[in-house]
Amino acid sequence: MKMSGAHVVLECLRQEGVKHIFGFPGGVLLPFYDALYDCQDIEHILVRHEQGAAHMADGYARATGKVGVCLATSGPGATNLVTGITNAYMDSIPMVAITGQVRTAVIGKDAFQEADITGITMPITKHNYLVKNPEDLARVISEAFHIARTGRPGPVLIDIPFDVNKQVIEWDPSTYPKKVDIPSYRPNIRGHEMQIRKAAQVIAEAERPVLYVGGGAISANAQKEVTELAERCNILVTTTLLGKGAIDETNRLSIGMLGMHGTAYANHAVNNCDLLIAVGARFDDRVTGKVDKFAPDAKVIHIDIDPAEIGKVRFADVPIVGDVKLVLKELLKHVQPRPWSEWNDQIMEWKKLFPLIYPKDGKLYVEYIIDQVGEATNWNLIMATDVGQHQMWAAQYFKCRKPHHWISSGGLGTMGFGLPAAIGAKVACPDSTVVCISGDGSFQMCTQELMTASVYELPVITVICNNHSLGMVRQWQDLFYKQRFSQTSLEASPDFVKLAEAYGCVGIRVEKPEEVRPALEAALKVRKKPVVIECIIPTEENVYPMIPAGESVSEMKQRTDLEELKASLNTDSEAWSFSEEDKVLSEYVEEAESVQTP
């Protein structure tokens, strides 16, 4: 068949099962967009900024586990993708980014809108390609998808010059490779049998084991296996920010997130354990703090698909390289049931001593907003977040019940990620409720994508937690820089309600706790429009607990009113509001009170 390079690309994407592309056109992409004009099978979502396209593809991938696809023109279009690609790279998200490039004849000559995007993205992609010959398109595209989704997933960029898209070649679509084999790239997915047996034995011998589960368990779709291991062995599970959803967080074995703003009990558990079972996690510095004081007495079983993660930060006594799901399945053949332990009781005791808690004093807190979002949706929603304090509160209080229900920028911490990621998730899962928890700062970094959501009638709900401040930076200034609040006030912001309306969205402003639920209920009823709910929250609130950067658990800061809050929780539970988890906690407190200690 005679077809242009651009038609070959589209046909390859179709064969890869691509249904949506997030993109933005430009000069060198004219042949591609021309071919797209007739394409029935792939919907192109026209964004308002290429960064939005990359984040949407990212959110799409996080919500489904499938490869997200974004597209941008040469030069500025391509460089606008850079933040989004880096974000996907840091969090190991499968993505294929396609960029237009100037004609092959002028590459290297500083042509109009030329940027060396393969050079620029070398350190932020799993792999990238510059296709100089249309005959190579099919092979390159099949390899790109294969590399993006297998092994440790990640973004792959394909740079296609104008003439390569334009040139007509003879190509038979039935020759598109169904299976890809790259001899120099064959990820090891089956864990080593001996090591798996050894892990089972180490688990059997441990007195104080803890499961530490990261994003790798989400990419491997291993919720079932993680839960089964936890339940069979009665091992409590803490997850990283990206691991949320690897176990249903309403499961009594879940002890929430660990790390800098993790729960105190998860951090105490890790700090005191004698066996740390790391599953698809990479010992990030926001998790470990000071590395040599992290889980100091623990043996480590480290299961990861990426051999380079093992031993990178922490020595692994039992290293297992392989797909998390397959390895856990194998492991489950060897582990024996363990009873509920005193060690678990100890962790529950910490939970009682250091609960996640916040006051119900008439002020509007993000913790409460998250609780309300959860209750209004039965905790069955996809929650996307931006970056800052609101993100950490959301991570602490959102009881994530399913994998792919939590979409947050971890490794890169990219402000502006939330809204486009939520849009990508909504495109992928139109029947799911998608709520973006954003901040007044972050929201303004990709606001323009409200227009995209509006045009495509995507009813995503964005909750802007407006503290009139770059809250997270302000918090560090408050705690470590003598309250010198340099450049962190956002006193002057647009009227977010009017702004939403200007983009054709529904805007609602909320100033009191009792207004939150009605606003959410109203928003959930909106069918064809995005909704923005601006919540006015106090500026001075800080996120606790907090382990300062580079410190260990012993330096953990708690909220100063912790004891008062706990006391009122016991005496008059009506007077205080607490998260789902702490309702369980209050029952536990009652139970504990009724048991007489000698």
Partner 1 sequence: MTIGNLMMTQLEHHHVLTALVENHPGVLARMAGLFARRGYNIESLTVSVTEDPAISRMTIVVAGDSMVLEQITKQLNKLIEVIRVVDYAELPSVLRELALIKVNAEPRDRSEIMQIVEIFRGRIIDMGERTFIIEVTGGSEKLDKIRELLNPYGIKEMVRTGIIAMARGPRTA
Ligand X SMILES: Cc1ncc(C[n+]2csc(CCOP(=O)(O)OP(=O)(O)O)c2C)c(N)n1
By CB under 6 A, is residue 440 in contact with ligand X? yes
Dihedral sign of CA atoms 167, 172, 178, 179 in order: negative
Residue 386 interaction partner, one of ligand X, Mg ion, partner 1, none, beta carbon < 5-8 Å per kind:
ligand X
Give yes or no for residue 440 binding Mg ion (CB under 5 A).
Answer: yes
Which one of the spans 2-10, 234-242, 316-324, 385-393 is the region binding ligand X (CB under 6 A)?
Answer: 385-393
Secondary element (H or E) of residue 343: helix 342-353
The length of the chain is 598
Based on the shown chain and the rule CB under 6 A, indicate whether residue 330 belongs to the binding site for ligand X.
no
With binding defined as CB under 8 A, does residue 312 bind partner 1? Answer: yes
Closest to partner 1 by CB, 306 or 515: 306
Residues 92, 412: contact at Cβ < 8 Å? no
Of the pair 254, 391, the CB lying nearest ligand X is at: 391
Is 177 a binding residue for partner 1 by CB under 8 A? The answer is: no
Applying CB under 8 A, does 231 fall inside the site for partner 1? no
Q: Which does 87 bind (CB under 5 to 8 A by kind): Mg ion, ligand X, partner 1, none?
A: none
Residue 183 contacts by C-beta under 8 Å, 6 or more apart in sequence?
Answer: none
Q: How far is CA 315 from CA 235, 238, 312, 550, 559, in A?
A: 22, 20, 8, 19, 34
Q: Is 469 in the site for ligand X (CB under 6 A)?
A: yes
Cβ contacts of 220 within 8 Å, gap of 6 or more: 280, 305, 323, 324, 325, 326
Contacts with ligand X by CB under 6 A: the residue count is 20
CB atoms within 10 A of CB 432: 17
By CB under 8 A, tell whether 307 contacts partner 1. yes
Q: Please provide residue 508's backbone torsions phi and psi, each rounded to the nearest 5 degrees.
A: -135, 140
Task: Answer yes or no whether residue 467 interacts with Mg ion by CB under 5 A.
Answer: yes
Q: Quote the tokens at residue 350.
A: 């910490």
Choose the binding region for ligand X from 96-104, 122-130, 386-394, 580-588 (rule: CB under 6 A).
386-394
183 binds partner 1 (CB under 8 A): yes
Residue ranges with strand state E in 214-324: 237-239, 254-257, 275-279, 299-304, 318-321
292 interacts with partner 1 by CB under 8 A: no
Distance of CA 546 to the CA centre of its chain: 20
**Residue 408 interacting with ligand X (CB under 6 A):** no
Who's near 590: CB < 8 A, 6+ residues apart?
none
Q: Under a CB-based contact definition with an 8 Å cutoff, are residues 401 and 249 in contact?
A: yes
Considering only residues 80, 87, 118, 223, which one is a binding residue for partner 1 as defined by CB under 8 A? 118
Closest approach, Cβ 4 to partner 1, in A, equals 25
Asked if 126 is part of the footprint of partner 1 (rule: CB under 8 A), the reply reads yes
By CB under 6 A, which span of 188-196, 320-328, 412-420, 448-456 interacts with ligand X? 412-420
Residues that bind ligand X (CB under 6 A): 386-390, 413-416, 439-442, 465, 467, 469-473
Residues that bind partner 1 (CB under 8 A): 118-119, 122-123, 126-127, 130, 147, 182-185, 306-308, 311-312
